Structure 1
Amino acid sequence: MTIRLDHIVLWVSDPIRSTRFYEEVLGLEPLRLEEFRAGGVPFPSVRVSGETIIDLMPATMAEALSSAPGTEGSAGHPVNHLCLSFSRDGYEALQARLEERGIAIPVTMKDSFGARGHAPETFYFADPDGNVIEARYYD
């Protein structure tokens, strides 16, 4: 089974300034910056590798994201959640293991944007310390 890091979400005060920093200082490619400036997407990202990105989420979105069932109190930390990308079989196996252990999957989403484009399905759950983890697969 192969598990890959898909993306990390960082809370930032100014996504455009942060995108410039990650581009100019770290040499990372900006993604969706013009769409963000135009109001078409809620945040820009930067590419770490062919499979991994960092989302630069406006800190002003923290309160709204902390209101999703199962995520109360999670938003506003320096890192909101980490996302792991699985094969579809690995994704389904993880889902089964979580259910077997009684670990809640409070949020499931369809067509979620990530490092490799749009994932057909994704779900969120928490580790024992309350850190939020997103699992996804790509076709």
Structure 2
Amino acid sequence: MINIDRVDHLVLTVADVDRAVQFYEQILGMTPVTFPGERRAVSFGGQTLKLHAASELVEPTATHPVPGSANLCFVTTNALSEVQEHLRANEVWIEEGPVSRIGSQGPITSLYLRDPDGNLIEIARYDEPEE
């Protein structure tokens, strides 16, 4: 049996790499990265989101790589009220939330928004344990 330890990176197919980098850097606080061959990405924690332009796909690729087809959840340590304030200040529409959900490690409270390509982005905070 194979033992998978963690996710190293994900690839998002985007319409405009510069626009995607700007969003993930300015709105979600991720760090821009450039790899050999001028490939672009953003990183946070120990993870990376590689950004591939739909017009210049890197092989091998997914069977149907299209902008706006992802649904991602990011965990924040900020209070969700701070996240809401930041999103509103940057004119980012909140699709839904705060709402209760279940994350991979238990109850979370989430906000939903969309990136410039229409990908659904969930910003979640793990609920404080009840005493």
Name the TM-score class by shorter chain: 0.3 to 0.5
Q: In proportion to residue count, which structure has more helix?
A: 1
- Tell me the TM-score normalized by structure 1: 0.41
Structure possessing the higher relative contact order (Cα contacts under 8 Å, 6 or more residues apart):
1
TM-score normalised per structure 2: 0.43
